Structure 1
Amino acid sequence: MAFALHRRTINFFNISQRIWSRGIAMSSPNLQKALEKLEKNPYFEKYAHRIAELQRTSPEEFLQRVENVERSEEAQRRARVSPPDTRQFSSVLNPKEPRKEDVSVQDKKLEDILKLDLVKDKDASEIQTIWEQYHRNKHVISAIIPADQYAAIKEKMNKYPTFLFPLPRSQGYEFIMCQSYSHSIHFTPLLAFQVHKENAPECLTMVHYTELQHKDIVLMRGEYDKNVLTGQEAQCLANQFQMYYGGKDETKSQLLQTFTEHPDKFKHMDLVSQLENISL
């Protein structure tokens, strides 16, 4: 997977201090503090309309979730665990049954994108050229993955279905969660997850199409929300996914294992260090 990864000069968490006064009835001082912290998040404005929609349609659920965020942060302070607290993810992001969004993704077939009859006599290199040209001017990301490499990626997806990636932004780093299900990967902003939990909207969905594995290739297509990500940012997330799940770097493999098996020992700034140390 050949994605261009762009580095940026980062000003770590230069967050303006603002107070959220949206006319919400507060049930406790802790809730007031939690709302203020939520509004201070540098990415709050990007998801404000979705947060407001939850507030409007389910005010009690909204207040409960905000209070849960405050309780989680208080637990982190007592335990001296650096946020984000990965322990909250395991019970929500490893469901036994797929979400309805996952089911719809699994219904996607390669034949809906590519006329398989027209490529049945073509070799892998010819199909790669067709796939790249087809997506050249579209608002998606794409890649051709050798079948044996994808087998290794899929093994890690099954073993480590949930992870976290830092995304460089002008304000600092925004953390994006990913969840693997079958042959797809779903990316969700951490802030959106804190408010919406398992119903958080996705900003990027990558699907691996395995119909041409007999030609020793797997096709990948990623669709992203242009209101949340640029094409370059979507590529950055896909590139990080490839490095952690498709690479052989022992440090990255250890981070995957720690996140899944020992979340209390996981340090999110290790992910930032890994991204900053990439040799271009």
Structure 2
Amino acid sequence: MSSTGLRIGRRALLSSRGARSFASSTAGGGFSYPGARSLEQIVKLELLEGEQPPKIRSVWEDFHAGKDDAVATALGASEFQALVGRAAAAPFFVFPVYRHEGFFNMLCQFQQSCFLVTSLEAFKENPGAAPPCVAVSLYDDLLARKELALVRADVINMLDKKEAQLLLQQLLASYQDDTLYEHVHKFNNQPEQFDFEAYRALLKDATTP
């Protein structure tokens, strides 16, 4: 993706800030997809409540290991709270997905307890109807008692599981790492100062393909 393409994407982003920028299960956009399910619809919550945090993390990640359409991880209470706070302050960002010696870009938008990720190209064509490719749900059901939040990325289309796993790592790192988050903040609040290539170089050092 060229810097010109990113500038076009940012202009589309800024022009649509007054409305929901791409559709969700509750928006009136041109598509529908299954909304983020409650944690109780995925696992037996009462069984997790009887375990300690390390065991809960292990059970959660093992449960998703064999699934082709979802990846998962867990965050400590302070990590989760920092992530949500930063995402609320800077809800949009772009992530490269590498494929066949090149890459294309995905755009994420944070909405309450979920990150929706779509193709930047689809967003540029029609911000209000860009379909999500990945939905990253944040579950805080165990936060008060176990100081642990569960994270699940549902792979909807366009990406395979390995690509979605790396994208989730990139997303979390970009909002948790102070240096990477500077780029996220600039993208949202000082777009003229955002340097995608500088961010991409830092990201390669911070995440493992």
TM-score, normalised relative to structure 2: 0.84
The 3 A distance-change label for structure 1 pair 277 and 194 is same
The 3 A distance-change label for structure 1 pair 217 and 247 is same
Paired residues for 1:1-280 under 5 Å: 82-85=4-7, 86-92=10-16, 95=19, 99-101=23-25, 105=35, 108-139=37-68, 140-214=70-144, 215-225=146-156, 227-248=157-178, 250=179, 252-278=180-206
1:72 corresponds to: none
- Aligned partner letter, 1:127: I
- Aligned partner letter, 2:11: R
Distance in 2, matches of 1:97 and 1:154, equals: 19
Moved over 4 A (4+): 96-100
CA-atom RMSD in angstroms: 2.4
Indicate conservation of the 8 Å contact 1:87/1:264, yes or no. no
The 3 A distance-change label for structure 1 pair 84 and 98 is closer
Q: Which runs of 5+ in 2 are unaligned?
A: 28-33
Per the TM alignment, residue 116 of structure 1 is displaced from its structure 2 partner at its CA by 1.6
SS in 2 for 1:223: strand
Indicate conservation of the 8 Å contact 1:162/1:260, yes or no. yes
Distance in 2, matches of 1:185 and 1:279, equals: 19
Identity of aligned residues (%): 24
Larger radius of gyration: 1
Per the TM alignment, residue 220 of structure 1 is displaced from its structure 2 partner at its CA by 0.7
Equivalences, count: 198
- Aligned partner letter, 1:219: L
